[in-house]
Chains A and B, each alone.
Chain A
Amino acid sequence: MNEIRTPESIGLSREDLPNSYIGRSVPRPNVAKLVQGRATYTDDVVLPRMLHAAFLRSPHAHARIVAVDASAAMQVPGVVRVFTGHDIAKVCDPWVAVLAHLKGMKSAPQHPLPLERATWQGEPVVAVVADSRAAAEDGVAALAVEFEPLPAQVDMETALAPGAVVIHPELGDNLVFQRTAVQGDVEAAFAAAHKVVEATFVTARHTGVTLEPRSIIADYNRAEDTLTVYHSTQAPHMMQGVFARHLRMEEGRVRVICKDVGGSFGIKVHVYPDEVAVAAMSRILGRPVKFVADRFESFCSDIHARDHRIKGRIAVDAEGKILGFDIDDLTGIGPYSVYPRTSAIEGNQVVNLCGGPYDFPNYRCTTTVVLQNKVPTCQYRAVGHPIATAVTEGLVDLAAHAIGMDPIEMRRRNLVRDDAYPFTSPSGMRFEGLSHHASLEKLLRMVPLARIRADQEEQRKRGVHRGLGFAAFIELTNASPFMYGIGGARISAQDGATVRMDPDGSVVVASGVTEQGQGTEAILAQIVAHGVGVPVEKVRVITGDTQVTPYGGGTWACRGAGIGGEAALQSALALKEQILSVAGALLQASPASLDIAMGEVVDKASGTPRISLSEIGRIVYFRGDTLPRDLAREFVQTRHFITKEYPFAFTNGIQACWVEVDTATGMVKLLEHWCVEDCGRVINPLLVEEQVRGGIVQGLGGALYEHCVYDGEGNLLTTTMADYLVPMAAEMPEIHVGHVETPTKETLLGAKGAGEAGTAGAPAALMNAINDALRPLNAVVTEMPFTPARILRALGTI
């Protein structure tokens, strides 16, 4: 290769090229089958002799398993077998979810089904396998399991106090992880500050509620000693390794296939004990076993997230410059850290991300992660960002108000300058290039500020309380091994793509990143079409099959475009080069004088078509005798990509939320919402906007409605979709999305990630909007979700 490729040289910034698909809102080819009912989700798959699993789940938050009597269950028509923890342990090893780089982290070994104790209400304890799901549930109903209830630890505030129930005595206490980040001298800065404001924030435990529940079919074929798993997961290669390792099989004998996945949001990137149990049961039975969590078990077994109490202080000088943040975060997870990503990452993110958009000298932030006898928690869309952003932006607004400064002016004075990069935050996060100020200015052009403020004042006279809130945020994407790999987890931060051209000139790309609806396959097709030079309709995409795609990390932390896309681009460019080398031989022209456009090899300077890809394909695949003997002619190229310079590709954005609070009822009406996001180079604006909208609504849900509510004994009270409230169409606002593009220089593509930005900023924007509405009434809310009861309490009405 002679030419050094740059984004400009490969035409990434030239929208006039016929197949310059980068930056175009190309409709996703996947959508047609989705709206016609022709998708294939894991539960749609039926295999010969397939059995169905159902679980008896612990009714207690904490209990000793005294005895399991399966005799009646085995008599139920259709029931084939009953499995206890001891049965599964014969073929399956337990796991411990810790990461070496989270110093001091500890967690107890976890089996798929526990051997002695159930440690959360909802933990799968006994499995019944039958010829139908209904029969399996009948079998579960006929089980006689004796539990001895034990005291439960259900209050994170007392988890480390004397008298706490130490859930795993061998660990010594309930402390999973603790870390403090320090920069500068917080004590001195706060003592000398013009103003110090403090508040306690609560983000409530909530969960993902993917509409397609967790689904798995494990098929162990005894004749071949292979395990094929159809799995609604985000990370098939990771799961391949997990199943192999814990079921004591060679990795090469395990294949994980993702069919269409009905939503994930991080919920489906974790290792679930019931799913591993299903694989173990198939191993034992030598037959396929299917398990689809129903909605009730989803609420008590899908990972929960964001159960935090955060005490925050901010110090400012007389000019409104932030002098420092001092933050103490406490979070209650489940009785085990979740494998393999661990449940300490969310708290760790809070430490990494508080204060994120701002330039200030002094920082102290501690996270304390403690065990609870509640559903295990782990990474869920935007992991830690909604919490850090709510604390940061909440404190900034409170400080602005305390010194009588406009909240926008306060942000202008403190956001990291757009020309300050590279920049390292007080918490040690390295930013390559962000656009806080450009994004703010763009937002202010989108939000009709003057009209809204005038309306607000007018309405206040009539006793109607409207409010406008802002939230600037950073969002971590494109993770390097610094997130998990260095901790010893077999989680791949690199990714690969194989691109090949078939005889008719069509192109196939196989990629290690995966699709759950965000449009991964669409952007891979766009990138490859651009890289090779073919119409996007001529590109087929294969994802989600460990036997077929290059080894990759799947989709999480918004890495699909930035990492998966880069691998796809580089392999597409390599294929193009390969094709041009053959074309050059055929045309007796130098490859450097040729290009490919819309499936035709063309003269680069004039654009004149010279030979079609289908003609080259015919010759290479069927008339190889006519080509020079030593001409390399593999029309298949693989490239793998890993980020090298920055541990994460940070993105940024800013949101505005406009609400009306009915102060008589405490009800919040969402009037309108805006978001400007900078995810680097935008590959498909439509898809980015829709990801942002969906992410915002998900964030609003967590701030306004969603709460996994427990009573004092560790009983989960929100067990159906009637008690756990998710956002629905009638209450959601119109959302306006704007873009700023600061490409990363780490890749040719320049794309960072976009999937989690909406969720990162929405709760903070909502909180600040509600507080802006309530300000004349001297009421402040900082505890989510912002239910009518909380708002009425803040108003002193109840």
Chain B
Amino acid sequence: MSARVDITLTVNGERVTRSVEARRHLIDFLRLDLGLTGSHAGCEHGVCGACTVRVDGEIVRGCLVLAASLDGAEVTTIEGLTDSGEVADLQEAFVLRNAAQCGFCSPGMVMAAADILRHHPQATRAEIREHLSGNYCRCTGYQAIVDAVESTLRARREGAR
């Protein structure tokens, strides 16, 4: 039984090759092997959403993905998402509305919100809440976060006209 697996994947646009223990989940791979500490583990059983990252274009729970299974995959973390500028307007809305307090949920929350911006640009307030229903935040009570997503969606719709 080989305990280590060689993988080559793209992380935030960069090709990386590593030999990983089979039991390492994606979050630990990002944090410990690549130094990308923006992704967080809050429960390690897929419930809190702090670990939400993008794999092959889709949001997933990083704590429920084996790093070893990601050979050939494309991973985007909060660092890469930020550098790309894809959600700069959303992040600015978070700042303006204080939609982050301690910030521990924020990377996962921004990832989940980015998914709404991408796939549900017409989302209503209730739909925004529903889409974020898998991301735990203890500090904000969620309203400011919903406000930030809603205002970003509105601005994008208005900007597109």
Binding site for B on A (CB under 8 A): 27-28, 30-41, 43-44, 134, 208-213, 260-265, 294-295, 516-519, 686-687, 690, 693-698, 720-722, 726-730, 732, 734-735, 758
Contact = CB atoms under 8 A, between A and B. Distances in A.
A414 B5 CA distance: 71
B143 A728 contact: no
B146 A36 contact: no
Contacts of A34: 100, 102-103, 106
Contacts of B67: none
Given A43-B31, A209-B136, A211-B105, 6 more contacts: A31-B98, A38-B38, A38-B82, A39-B103, A212-B104, A732-B142
Nearest to B87: A35
A36 B79 contact: yes
Residue from the set A28, A37, A41, A696 with the largest chain B CB neighbour count within 10 Å: A37
A698 to B, nearest CB: 7
Residue in B40, B45, B48, B104 whose Cβ sees the most chain A Cβ within 10 Å? B104
Instruction: State the majority secondary structure of interface residues on A.
Output: loop
Please list the 10 inter-chain residue pairs (A to B) with the smallest Cβ-Cβ separation, ordered nearest first.
A37-B38, A34-B103, A517-B102, A262-B104, A37-B78, A517-B101, A697-B141, A730-B133, A693-B141, A721-B47
Nearest to A209: B138
B143 A735 contact: yes
B48 A37 contact: no
Most chain B CB inside 10 Å of its own CB: which residue of A261, A727, A730, A734? A730
B47 A518 contact: no
Given A27-B98, A693-B143, A697-B141, A729 B129 contact: yes
A212 B144 contact: no
Nearest to A693: B141
B140 interface: yes
Given A36-B78, A37-B79, A721-B48, A28 B129 contact: no
Interface magnitude class on chain B? 35 or more
Given A37-B77, A261-B102, A262-B103, A28 B143 contact: no
B45 A687 contact: no
A36 B82 contact: yes
A295 B44 contact: yes
Given A210-B138, A295-B44, A697-B141, A516 B91 contact: no
Contacts of B78: 36-37
Given A32-B91, A729-B146, A211 B104 contact: yes
Nearest to A261: B102
A695 B50 CA distance: 20
Nearest to A25: B98
Nearest to A208: B138
B101 A265 contact: no
A698 B91 contact: no
B77 A728 contact: no
A208 B104 CA distance: 15
Task: Specify which of A34, A35, A40, A134 lies most central, judged by the most chain B CB atoms within 10 Å of its CB.
Answer: A35
Given A31-B103, A262-B104, A729-B129, A211 B136 contact: yes
Contacts of B31: 43-44
B95 A31 contact: yes
B137 interface: yes
A76 B22 CA distance: 17
Contact of B143 (A44, A516, A734): A734
A735 B144 CA distance: 10
Given A211-B136, A735-B143, A35 B103 contact: yes
B146 to A, nearest CB: 7
Contacts of A518: 101, 139
A31 B101 CA distance: 7
B34 interface: no
Given A35-B95, A44-B37, A720 B101 contact: no
Contacts of A44: 31, 37
B61 to A, nearest CB: 12
B95 A729 contact: no
Given A27-B95, A37-B79, A263 B106 contact: no
Contact of B45 (A295, A516, A695): A295
Contacts of A519: 98, 101
A690 B102 contact: no
A212 B143 CA distance: 21
Contacts of B103: 30-31, 33-35, 39, 260, 262, 517
Contact of B102 (A213, A263, A686, A698): A263
A457 B140 CA distance: 33
Interface in B96-137: 96-107, 110, 129-130, 132-137
A22 B134 CA distance: 37
Contacts of A687: 98
Nearest to A735: B143
Nearest to A699: B141
Nearest to A724: B47
B37 A40 contact: yes
B152 interface: no
A513 to B, nearest CB: 16
A263 B139 CA distance: 7
23 contacts: A28-B95, A31-B98, A35-B99, A36-B38, A36-B78, A37-B106, A38-B38, A40-B37, A43-B31, A43-B37, A44-B31, A211-B42, A260-B102, A260-B103, A262-B104, A263-B102, A517-B101, A690-B140, A721-B43, A721-B47, A728-B136, A732-B141, A732-B142
